[in-house]
Amino acid sequence: MGRLTLITKKGASISDRSNGSSGVVAISDSNSVTVQGFTINGGSVGVGCYTASACYLTGNTVQAAGIGIQTAGGSRAFLESNVIQNNTFEGSSVEDGSQMFSSNDIFQDNAGQGIAVNGGFVASNSSFLNNGGGIIAVASNLRLQGVTVSGSIGNGITMRAGSTAVFQAGVTVTSNGGDGIHLEDASFGGFQSATVTGNSSGLDVNCAPQFTITHFVARTGGITNCVEP
């Protein structure tokens, strides 16, 4: 399928009929598929974007029995003004070198991470609120602007395995149960403009072993053990 749009103006829902064994909406090997305005309930995956697809999700509420939105197989997902909530695993995942672009979305009250990234993630003006963890990146690239990460049970943002993140204007990471931003294994954080304060572990930006790198970490205003030349 290509150039397909599913849209509702009256708040229709799409709900799981598999008792959690299958996904609710699956998009595979498709270009330019739009899902707009739905409440998507249940399923092992609420919305799956697979096999080099381009998926556009706008104004939906996604609450699955597993992962809310899963992007895999070299696909690209473009999210705008969605609410990804109450998923029993991760709110969203980016896998297999895929990419996700998020604007004005809310990832909240998910049992796992708001998003788990193994690929690329770009977000502007999106919020990660009261999740098990806010964002975790493994061998990934992040660019965040105007993003809020707050109320996580664990770390606000965790970066592993050489991940790279640029924190642009308006990023706030606060009131998380662990570190605000946790970097390890040669990950890099570049702080153009961010506020990272008031996190519960005692370190707002934690440079853990091994070989972590930060740049302009002093701009966060928080407590840190990072050392810069």
pTM here?
0.91
Confidence of residue 229 (pLDDT cuts 50, 70, 90): low
pLDDT in tens, 18-47: 998 999 999 999 999 999 999 999 999 999
| pLDDT at position 98 over 90 | yes
Tokens of 29: 């090997």
Starting at the edge strand that comes first in sequence, how are the strands of the sheet with 188-191 ordered? 2-7, 31-36, 54-58, 76-80, 99-103, 120-124, 141-145, 164-167, 188-191, 213-215
pLDDT in tens, 129-160: 999 999 999 999 999 999 999 999 999 999 99
Task: Write the single-letter amino acid at 177.
Answer: G
pLDDT at 218: 86
